[in-house]
Structure 1
Amino acid sequence: MAHGHFRIAMLSLHSSPTGELGTRDTGGMSVYVFELAQELGARGVYLDIYTQAKTGHPTVTHLARTVRLIHLNTGVHREIPKQDLYRYLDLFYDQLEAFRKGEHITYDLIHSHYWLSGCLGLRAQRAWNVPHLIMFHTLGAVKNSLGVGPSESHQRIAAEQLLAQQSTAIVVGAEREKQHLIRFYRTDPKKILLIPCGVNLDRFQQITVQAARQQLGLDRWDRIVLSVGRLDPLKGVDRLMEAFAMLRDMQRCCLVIVGGGDTDQPDILQLRQHAESLNIHDRVIFAGRVAQGALPFYYSAADVVVIPSHYESFGLVVLEALACGTPVITTPVGAVEQILTRPEAGMVLSDVSPCGFASALRQFLTCVEHSPRTAAIRRALATPYSWHRVTAALYAAYNELLRTSLPSAPHMPVSFGTAFSYAQNQRSAVV
């Protein structure tokens, strides 16, 4: 195998790197996979990304000269919801193997994203006898410990436990996530690789406040608060709205919420009702789904970006906002403390109640500064997190895994129909 020209199977079953961002199952993970794929392709790595088929998509799409997106068709004539994908993993594996054998491909390494893809990757790890790297992106046990939103299934928890024990290595974007793996799944710290996520510094650049607001039709507002992300209960948008409602004297200030599907989707309708109940409906703008190319206009138009999340495994929005020169107010999640190291860049809250957010918002909105100097300070904090640097670290990890040839996982069940009970037994043995 020539150095640098190895072949990777990347698994991203439930979320395509070319999916529409901001919808319920398409967010930071899709950005991560897409940007990583572009950088790996530039290094000459042969990369096949496997995802579930969607209506109207060809089986193979070329994302770069050596990068392909491959849609696995299970024969189910609809897109399978994420919560149902586990039942179809045997079919996905059969389709993956049929494609691989039909193309006469031998992979050197597997990189899985999220636990569902990890289950597929663990089976391939055993069958192909190659290293298997996984990035969970979020952990079910952490979500359940917070008690916000629907509970994650026992199936997911057991599968993540198994993957934490049997995958070759695990990538995390933040020290906090590493500690979660050790605490909840008793993961061996030596197999956890801390490699932060990145930001596209070419795409996310500052636009003048006036130009950005004119482009978006927001120039009638004196102050703008921005939230960007999927509209999931864990994102905490409801408590941001409650905080914003406390700024009743700032009538020429609006809250812009980017994310969700079409503006008539249930998640947005529920938040609209919440805005009505708080009597802020005339100062809240639901932008819905926004293309990546338009996001810099929103970040640049804002006086402050707020991340009210209960849980983030890293916090990509922090980097995107800073790269556009905009400060951030955030809960202590992901890697935010390691990024927001200057007071000009924003604030990590200790009081994450609506009152705590309202106090921080008032402080920022009354003394906000849009000078080139402060914008440059903020952008400088994002610069070390370029995707080029992130990929260089991950590329080195790939090479190290291939060089050391760690032993393969213990025997896995022959089908996913029996994998769940196997995973539960394994989990019971270590808890």
Structure 2
Amino acid sequence: MNIAVISAHSCPAGTLGTKDTGGMSVYTLEIARELGKLGHKVDVYTRLHNPDDLVVLELGENARLIHIEAGERTKLHKLAVHGLLPEFTANLEMFRKENNLEYDIVYTHYWISTLAGEEFSRLWQVPHVTMFHTLGAMKNTFGVGEPDPDLRIDTEGELVKSVHRIIAPTEREKGELVNRYNADPNKIGVVPCGVNMELFRPLDRAESRQRIGLVNGKIILFAGRIDPLKGIANLVKAVALIKGGKDTRLVIVGGGNGDNEVQTYRELARDCGIAENVTFTGAVSQDTMPYYYTAADVCVLPSYYESFGLVALEALSCGMPVVANDVGDLKNIIRQGETGFVTAGNSPAVLAETIGQALDSRFAPAETIRESVKQYTWADVAGALTGEFERLICRYRVPVS
């Protein structure tokens, strides 16, 4: 198959942990590489946001990233990218024609790219598969952070009816698509996310702590975008409640020095009296993350909402126990009391009690924890997606009598 993948607003090769660059970027990059290994030709299209970026970047065997000009060559707010879609689609189509490219299917990510995908599906006469990654209607139910506009929610409601196929990472997300957007359940395929088990593996703990510069005490790790929906405020408050927490350090990986949210959490840590016990690392490369996972005593996902929960898979693959709110598919991934704990809520009190319990627990050995997620490789995900794509293409090509 020749597959066009579209991630207009978020570059898969961007700096992870910064705004708009998180699990979706990991997903897009890993899936492109794995589909390429299976012999498919994969072109991932994104908006050119950095003047130093190459127009075409090789990602691996049969897979490449293509930057398309649209607006200023700088990072823009997602809604600004929405306004640039006519220019983005026109320039993408010009690139396709100039390079004599033909595609069998288009696979889009996030609602903004799904809009572009609808245009290309009509133009190229090929089926369109999308993955929303998060749902605006779900995000707004929590009343945390900046609410998503009606534009997004209304557009998602229209798109679930017009696209040919939707990929949801969990049965829970499939249910939300049906309940909140009245999506046809027969149009939704459930394919979980994955983890790069070659990269995320148990390392020597003492060496890992030396590597990240944190040698002593208990380490509680948070990794992800610095966003209110991630529940970081509750985690900071929880650490302040943990008894005997003087030798406990919260390490928050993600964000940048100019991130206003980071400053907000710095001030919160100071107000809670634990400023000396909280480390903000900023964004960290994927290659470095295994050292953080291995160095920690527990990884915590205090999120209000996750469509899946990729960070948990990465931590578990490194042999690290996880404490997580019941979001995404974590209640089916984490083995209660063996590889971590799933909490019924993310209040500071609940998190503090469960993290304290985790710090005092004897979990399964690192290799056993890692073994618990062996079925979540990106190769498995790519294989499942290939089946979804091939079946859809066959149905699309059969004439209706």
TM-score bucket (shorter structure):
over 0.9
| Structure 1, 202-211 or 79-88: larger mean CA deviation | 79-88
Q: Out of 41, 44, 49, which is 1:46 matched to?
A: 41
What is the identity, as a one-letter code, of the residue corresponding to 1:56?
Answer: D
Q: Which residue of 2 aligns with 1:161?
A: 157
Q: Distance in 2 between matches of 1:65 and 1:379?
A: 27
Q: Which residue of 2 aligns with 1:302?
A: 296
Inter-CA distance 209–156: structure 2 relative to 1 (3 Å threshold): same
Aligned residues: 398
> Are 1:121 and 2:112 an aligned pair?
no
Q: Distance in 2 between matches of 1:181 and 1:329?
A: 27
SS at match of 2:392: helix
Q: Distance in 1 between matches of 2:61 and 2:33?
A: 10
Q: Distance in 2 between matches of 1:87 and 1:190?
A: 32
Q: Which residue of 2 aligns with 1:9?
A: 4
Q: Distance in 1 between matches of 2:208 and 2:58?
A: 33
| Structure 1, 79-88 or 239-248: larger mean CA deviation | 79-88
Q: Which residue of 1 aligns with 2:58?
A: 62
Q: Which residue of 2 aligns with 1:176?
A: 172
SS at match of 1:300: helix
What is the identity, as a one-letter code, of the residue corresponding to 1:114?
Answer: Y
Q: Out of 286, 290, 298, which is 1:292 matched to?
A: 286
Q: Distance in 2 between matches of 1:204 and 1:80?
A: 31
Q: Which residue of 1 aligns with 2:374?
A: 383
The offset of 1:248, in angstroms, is: 4.8
Q: Which residue of 2 aligns with 1:359?
A: 353
> Are 1:321 and 2:322 an aligned pair?
no
Is contact 2:303-2:327 (8 Å) kept? Answer: yes
Inter-CA distance 407–310: structure 2 relative to 1 (3 Å threshold): farther
Inter-CA distance 79–265: structure 2 relative to 1 (3 Å threshold): closer
SS at match of 1:179: helix
The offset of 1:407, in angstroms, is: 8.7
Q: Distance in 2 between matches of 1:362 and 1:342?
A: 15
The offset of 1:81, in angstroms, is: 2.2
List aligned pairs for 1:240-259, cutoff 5 A. 240-259=235-254
Q: Which residue of 2 aligns with 1:150?
A: 146
TM-score for both structures, normalised by structure 2: 0.96
Q: Out of 91, 101, 104, which is 1:105 matched to?
A: 101
The offset of 1:271, in angstroms, is: 0.8
> Are 1:197 and 2:223 an aligned pair?
no
The offset of 1:261, in angstroms, is: 1.5
Is contact 1:131-1:406 (8 Å) kept? Answer: no
Inter-CA distance 75–348: structure 2 relative to 1 (3 Å threshold): closer
Q: Distance in 2 between matches of 1:334 and 1:22?
A: 19
Inter-CA distance 80–376: structure 2 relative to 1 (3 Å threshold): same
What is the identity, as a one-letter code, of the residue corresponding to 1:265?
Answer: D
Is contact 1:177-1:313 (8 Å) kept? Answer: yes
Inter-CA distance 338–213: structure 2 relative to 1 (3 Å threshold): same
The offset of 1:342, in angstroms, is: 4.6
List aligned pairs for 1:125-140, cutoff 5 A. 125-140=121-136
The offset of 1:343, in angstroms, is: 2.1
Structure 2 unaligned regions, length at least 5: none
Percent identity for Structure 1 against Structure 2: 41
Q: Which residue of 1 aligns with 2:91?
A: 95
What is the identity, as a one-letter code, of the residue corresponding to 2:331?
Answer: E
Q: Which residue of 2 aligns with 1:396?
A: 387
Inter-CA distance 89–366: structure 2 relative to 1 (3 Å threshold): same
What is the identity, as a one-letter code, of the residue corresponding to 2:165?
Answer: A
Is contact 1:344-1:377 (8 Å) kept? Answer: no
Inter-CA distance 56–351: structure 2 relative to 1 (3 Å threshold): closer
SS at match of 2:251: strand
Is contact 1:272-1:281 (8 Å) kept? Answer: yes
Q: Distance in 2 between matches of 1:87 and 1:405?
A: 30
Q: Distance in 2 between matches of 1:406 and 1:114?
A: 26
Q: Distance in 2 between matches of 1:194 and 1:367?
A: 34
List aligned pairs for 1:68-83, cutoff 5 A. 68-83=64-79
Structure 1 unaligned regions, length at least 5: 1-5, 409-431
| Structure 1, 111-120 or 70-79: larger mean CA deviation | 70-79
Q: Which residue of 1 aligns with 2:276?
A: 282
The offset of 1:80, in angstroms, is: 2.8
Q: Which residue of 1 aligns with 2:305?
A: 311
The offset of 1:20, in angstroms, is: 0.5
The offset of 1:385, in angstroms, is: 0.1
SS at match of 2:250: strand
List aligned pairs for 1:210-229, cutoff 5 A. 210-221=206-217, 223-229=218-224
The offset of 1:209, in angstroms, is: 2.0
> Are 1:33 and 2:28 an aligned pair?
yes
